[in-house]
Amino acid sequence: MKYVLTIFVLSMLYVVHPIPNNNIWGNAKTDQERCQAEADYMAKNRKFYHVGPCIGRFEGIGYGSKTPNVPTCTPKYKMTLTGDATAQTASGTWVRVRSWR
């Protein structure tokens, strides 16, 4: 059990790497603009995990190679989608960032 817990904790450290003093959004003001800025940053830098503060009240990210319509996490409770953006890496992987409020 201890071994499984250790692997789980280490995997969570790998998945969530917020960038300190985050400036990936630039001048983006709306959730849609922030989602696009974050998707562009993730694709450019091949970062396939959350890279900044949460956009809105809930943020989902996803990546895949076949289509820009990549599935992401979704909120458990009813919320309004406020941003949905995609970007593609140089090697063809699609990144998607969505936000809800």
**pLDDT higher for 5 or 56?**
56
Q: In this predicted structure, what is the pLDDT of residue 10?
A: 42
Query: What is residue 52's DSSP assignment?
Result: S
Q: pLDDT tens digit string along 16-34?
A: 455 444 578 888 899 999 9
CA distance 34 to 53: 10
Q: pLDDT tens digit string along 50-86?
A: 998 999 999 999 999 889 999 999 999 999 999 999 9
Tell me which residue range forms the domain holding 50: 2-100
Q: How many domains does the chain have?
A: 1
Q: Is the pLDDT of residue 6 over 80?
A: no
Three-state DSSP class for 26? coil
What pTM was estimated for this model as a whole? 0.77
Q: Is the pLDDT of residue 37 over 80?
A: yes
Under the banding of pLDDT at 50, 70 and 90, the label for residue 99 is very high
Q: In this predicted structure, what is the pLDDT of residue 92?
A: 96
Phi then psi for residue 60, to 5 deg, are -125, 140
Minimum mean pLDDT among 2-6, 35-39, 41-45: which range?
2-6
